[in-house]
A and B are shown apart, each in its own frame.
Chain A
Amino acid sequence: MNRHLLSIDDLAVDDVRTIFDTAVEMHDVQKRQVKKLPALRGRTVINLFFEDSTRTRSSFEIAGKWLSADTINITGKGSSTSKGESLRDTVLTVCAMGVDALVMRHSASGSAKQVSEWVDAVVINAGDGTHEHPTQALLDAYTLERRLGSLEGRRISVIGDLTHSRVFRSNVLLLTKLGAEVTVVAPPTLMPSGIDAWSKDAGFATSYDIDEVLPTSDAVMMLRVQRERMNGAFFPSAREYTVGYGLTRDRLASLAEGTPILHPGPMNRGLEIAADAADAAHSLILDQVSAGVAVRMSVLYHLLAGEEATA
């Protein structure tokens, strides 16, 4: 396994399997009365969140604490430049306090990779701009595997604002790596530039037609529409988006029975996903949240304690 987790590209399939196998064990910890393992005792993990986040930061914090790491949160709106300090100076300052792992969220794509070149600590990308969110992809695939078994040959649709989604970018890499047949669906204005060539190279399909895709999907992954984008002329109105690309009650009925529904949250109920779909019995949205802790425990364990533990 690579030293850092910056992108799904850092992981071989065997690495993913290792993370998932350990996550199963970690998942069991959640059911215990005393949710504590000694694996990372004496290790310090800093959650450095330059961008607002509740679920990802809490998830990493709980994961670290359950592994007995000293977990500290540092949050700050915007980027370091807003205070006039360079990103390099900011992270070097934090790391000078004696940090073993830096879990970093930042609004700028590529920032986690840049930071990994400046610091000695292990860097885990907790979302960098519109680039990647690898632990989200891991927890999504882990959740799906628990429901569907192997993802090999499974048809998975990823639907929504692809252009601005780091979840999409990590998921398309991981799901295809695990053998799934991925189709991504969005209006043309929310498809990333150059996606035609990219999808051909990477082996996934694209579509503008949600109604064509849904009935043959083995799983549906909805993405959040970022309301703040609506003034950017990406689509005319919320109503039109819902009619064209939302997982509405009618479309819910077009899914094969029991088709898993995922959403990374936070959801815009009534916009990209109807309440009926979010709350359906086959919705895995809350399973994703609890799996997130297990997967992040596994990632922290393998990056920080892996070698010691197996020695």
Chain B
Amino acid sequence: MSAPENDSSRVIVKGASLLGDKSADLLIVGGVIREIGSIDARDTAHGSATVIDADGLVALPGLVDLHTHLREPGREDAETIRTGSMAAAVGGYTAVLAMANTSPVTDTAENAERVFDLGRAAGLVDVHPVGAVTRGLAGEELAELGLMNRSRARVKVFSDDGKCVGDPRVMRRALEYVKAFGGVISQHSQDASLAGASACCHEGELSGQLGLPGWPGVAEEIIVARDVMLARHTGSRVHVAHVSTAGSVEVLRWAKAQAAKDGHWSVTAEVTPHHLLLTTDLLSGYDPTYKVNPPLRPVEDVEALRAALADGTIDAVATDHAPHARHDKEHAFVDAAFGMLGLETALAVVNTVMRGNDLLDWAGIASVMSANPARIAGLDDQGQGIAVGAPANLTLIDPDASVTVDRDASVSLSRNNPWHGRTLTGAVHATLLRGVATVVEGQLA
């Protein structure tokens, strides 16, 4: 039996619909869900508990983002770990994985611990640094994968994101090496030679007309195909970041079936909210807000990605939140920075696209935005669901709220928001990190 908790740490969430199903009250004590059922806040045992009225709200386990760019260290004018954490909390996240392409790159234990510590200091979400696969993201020598894993940050996910690990021999060694500690290599799949150095959008009819250098879907697909074969060969775990084409989905479908049969290796994949909804035709006005890597693709690809997320071929939604200072986007399209914001709007986009089209229910959304990302990243205290004994990492959502996105309302330091002016369904009402509210009524607590 556990020791009696201090009443001040008690929180009662009243009347939330758990994963969109039956309504129940949650008693949270010391950051852990202690009771699920009908809990009377007037009971003398709970009299001093903080009560959150969740009538009409859906409760999901706290969201986990496998793919966030926080820009600190190096570009604190675009985002800091604190402001990125704020955006994550407002978006319903309780954990994010911070990509390694900062300055300096997260390729040593010291750099990983620095990111980890800044995340803890911000205290709004768990910030887990992603380690670089190669030193300086140069694609040549392995970074200190083992030391990063042994560090305080306990790094398990490694990625040169922004760049592809192009050399198959380096990729093979990385996959082999991380087996020692259950790591996973998250690959930015883009054959650099085939995509071309100046590629800035999807290669297709529109890029031909606009005179923009495009990169074809096959430049992604051949790397996905290569990497699943390497994962099979090495018996390791590969994760495909931001899948963007129907061809990649086909490869993944085949690979997952093989992996299930073989049993000694695995492949997982993520898709971004923007690749689930936005299409390449948005580029016709040359607005760099829509410049992202991998690029927005045609509607056929978008439909394939939705279907793959619905049937489990794609495991997770990851934001690829990529804040940029305004002046880094105010260049000619080919010269502007890649990337768009995503943390604050991801849940609403997924709700609008996937639940709105009956492709996923709330339990399905919980899987792809919380449980699966936590499993892929090896996070034990995230994505566990809403159960007695689980950490009280929770997101409470107003499922029917209709919200028109205003980029100036963002808590991110940046404004490169592709959803500005769009109306999305579903709003994060509250976020709880181990029982502590980080967001209440849509605002930072």
Inside 8 A of A89's CB, which chain B residues have their CB?
327, 330
**Contacting pair B204 A194 (CB below 8 A):** yes
**Contacting pair B211 A80 (CB below 8 A):** no
Nearest-neighbor residue (CB-CB) of B328 within chain A? A86
Interface string of A61-99 (1 = CB under 8 A from B): 000000000000000000111000011110000000000
**Shortest Cβ distance from residue A269 to the other chain B in the assembled complex, whole angstroms:** 26
Chain A positions 96-124 with a Cβ under 8 Å from a chain B Cβ: 106-111, 113-114
**Contacting pair B204 A106 (CB below 8 A):** no
Option from A79, A132, A197 in Cβ contact (under 8 Å) with B332: A79
A193 at the interface (CB under 8 A from B): yes
Nearest-neighbor residue (CB-CB) of A164 within chain B? B211
Among all A-B residue pairs, the 7 with the closest Cβ atoms: A194-B205, A110-B286, A108-B332, A192-B208, A131-B211, A130-B211, A88-B330
Inside 8 A of B286's CB, which chain A residues have their CB?
109-111, 113-114
- Given known pairs A193-B205, A194-B204, A194-B206, the reply for A109 and B212 (CB within 8 Å) is yes
**Contacting pair A87 B335 (CB below 8 A):** yes
Inside 8 A of B204's CB, which chain A residues have their CB?
193-194
**Contacting pair B208 A129 (CB below 8 A):** no
A169 at the interface (CB under 8 A from B): yes
Sample of 11 further A-B pairs with CB below 8 A, known A129-B334, A193-B205:
A108-B333, A109-B212, A109-B332, A110-B211, A110-B332, A111-B286, A111-B333, A130-B213, A131-B211, A194-B208, A198-B205
**Contacting pair A166 B327 (CB below 8 A):** no
Inside 8 A of A129's CB, which chain B residues have their CB?
211-212, 332, 334
Option from A81, A86, A198 in Cβ contact (under 8 Å) with B209: A198
**Shortest Cβ distance from residue A160 to the other chain B in the assembled complex, whole angstroms:** 15
Nearest-neighbor residue (CB-CB) of B332 within chain A? A108
A163 to B327 CA separation, bound complex (whole angstroms) = 30
B401 at the interface (CB under 8 A from A): no
Interface of A is mostly: mixed
Nearest-neighbor residue (CB-CB) of A118 within chain B? B330
A114 to B331 CA separation, bound complex (whole angstroms) = 9
Inside 8 A of B328's CB, which chain A residues have their CB?
86
**Contacting pair A192 B334 (CB below 8 A):** no
**Contacting pair B207 A81 (CB below 8 A):** no
Inside 8 A of A166's CB, which chain B residues have their CB?
211
**Contacting pair A108 B335 (CB below 8 A):** yes
Give the bracket for the number of chain A residues in contact with chain B.
Answer: 20 to 34
B84 at the interface (CB under 8 A from A): no
Option from A79, A81, A132, A193 in Cβ contact (under 8 Å) with B216: A193
B227 at the interface (CB under 8 A from A): no
Nearest-neighbor residue (CB-CB) of A85 within chain B? B327
Interface string of B324-347 (1 = CB under 8 A from A): 000110111111000000000000
B295 at the interface (CB under 8 A from A): no
Inside 8 A of A243's CB, which chain B residues have their CB?
none
Option from A86, A114, A169, A197 in Cβ contact (under 8 Å) with B211: A169
A169 to B208 CA separation, bound complex (whole angstroms) = 9
Inside 8 A of B333's CB, which chain A residues have their CB?
108-111, 114
Query: Could you say which of A87, A110, A197 has the most chain B C-beta atoms within 10 Å of its C-beta?
Result: A110
A1 at the interface (CB under 8 A from B): no
B131 at the interface (CB under 8 A from A): no
**Contacting pair A193 B335 (CB below 8 A):** no
- Given known pairs A110-B212, A113-B285, A193-B214, the reply for A80 and B207 (CB within 8 Å) is no
A195 at the interface (CB under 8 A from B): yes
A166 to B210 CA separation, bound complex (whole angstroms) = 9
